[in-house]
Amino acid sequence: MTEQKKLTGNLGVLVSNRAWKGITNNNPHYRLEKLSEANEYVNFNMFFFSINTVDIQKQLITGYYFDFTNNLWEKDTFPYPDVLYRRGGASKKYRNKYLTFIEQCNEKKTVCLNPSSLGNWDIYNYFGTLKPLKSFLLDTILYEGPEDLFDMMKKHQTIYLKGVTGRKGQNVVRVEHLPGDKYLCKHFDYIQDEIHSKSYEKLDEMIPFIDKFYKGKKFMIQEAIDLLEVNNRRIDLRAELQRNKKKGIEISGISARVSQENSPITIHSHAFPVGELFDWINLSPKEKLRMQQRIETFLYKIYTETEFKYGEFGEIGIDFGLTKDLEIKFIECNSQSAKVSLLKAYGENTVKQTMVNILLYAKDKLEETGWEGESNQSVEAVVSEESNKPEEAIVSEESNQHVKEALHNSQSEWELRKNVKRNKLIQKKKIKYKRPRKLGNSVSTHGFWFVKAT
């Protein structure tokens, strides 16, 4: 294995079996490539592995690392990591092995950057016990039988059925009470990448479909948010938050996600910075500032309360919605955010910075444990030199036009943003990666998440 200079420690990235196969074929996922590139600044001895490549008897791991000398992914054997970054889990087949591995890592006091999965029901049930968060929550129950479905439909015109775990819009069904006492059932098929819908004359006729859909797995029933909509497209938001070197919380970006037409979820959506959404709905500067402050307060509260229950996280993705009355409603947390919307809305430099951030945080956490290694003094200087280039600000008129085009254009939001012609510029400025504004014990990269300059 090629020796790296000034190694910070062993960082193992646990990936899914699918991602592992991509690496073995020298065709890794884009995010894993970018994480390796970010590591050039921090110099962890970084390797990628799947749970089925762990030898729990010998406590050794077969993994791949990226060798920058020959630009190839190389295979090697590694000890258990000093730092564990979970970017994938374990299938049912390897569940017991995974739990044993995690227990062994805990015994070795391995630093875990995202110590727990954040199941939909567990987190919602916990937040329901916290008075400061209740105004952000929706009426939610755990399904135990058909009567629960009937009772929730009596209370709400539209509800969602959601698996207690799952991501990417899987295990989500929307049920709507239509005029004439009919019921419309919709769900997004992740495999076929299409929306399925069916109407029922009676609610109890839907039960066989629900039983087949969830296959005995637990799910919850939740009232639907009266989300902002434009041209029959629902809009929700994904915030990416991270802890920085000083243990403050930074908002890396908040993306407004616009669903496909009539889709029950916003998966595979267009995305743009939330500031442009505020321009689109014609908020005044004072209203924007007030909304920004409300959102920040909400996000920091969700982050810190999550940590109070599960332990400290290096990063969390938080989904939430704005009602048509601009009330904030919590949807879910994600401890392994794919950052797809962040890429679409804010671009590659922002995503790269989030990856550098999590590695810098990992370095500091490792040093706290007493690990003695050489520091890399040039990390921030290198990042600043490469990425802090002059950027153009976006005026509200152009933001509105951009949103209009996003709603009617089938190309990806990221491709659209690169091709949009801007006719007005109100200023030119550099986007700096470190310009925090203190908010109690937290920090916000003020203005950066609000409107992106591209």
Residue-wise DSSP of 16-66: -HHHHHHHHTT---HHHHHHHHHHHHH--EEEEE-GGGEETTTTEEEEEEE
Distances (CA, A) of 192 to 170, 171, 239: 12, 14, 27
> Domain for residue 119, yes or no?
no
Spatial separation of the C-alpha atoms in residues 409 and 401, rounded to whole Å: 12
> Which residue range is the domain that position 183 belongs to?
139-223
Q: Are residues 182 and 324 in the same domain?
A: no
Q: Let me know whether 80 and 152 are in one domain.
A: no
Least confident of 116-130, 190-204, 368-382: 368-382
Is the pLDDT at 402 greater than 50? The verdict is no
Residue 438 lies in a domain: yes
Residue indicated by tokens 């909400």: 298
CA distance 316 to 303: 7
Classify residue 450: in a domain, yes or no: no
CATH number of the domain where residue 54 is located: 3.40.50
**Pair 320, 435 in one domain:** yes
Query: Are residues 97 and 188 both part of a single domain?
Result: no
CATH of the domain at 295: 3.30.470.20
On whether both 281 and 371 belong to a single domain, the answer is yes
Whole-number pLDDT of residue 374: 44
The pLDDT of residue 158 is above 90: yes
Query: What is the pLDDT, as a whole number, of residue 139?
Result: 96
Q: Does residue 4 lie in a domain region?
A: no
Does residue 125 sit within a domain? no
pLDDT range class, residue 380, cuts 50, 70, 90? very low
Domain contains 132: no
Among 223, 241, 275, where does a domain finish?
223
What percent of the chain is predicted at pLDDT more than 90?
Answer: 60
pTM of the model: 0.80
- Overall average pLDDT of the 107-111 stretch: 94
How many separate domains does the chain show? 3
For residue 169, tell me if it sits in a domain: yes
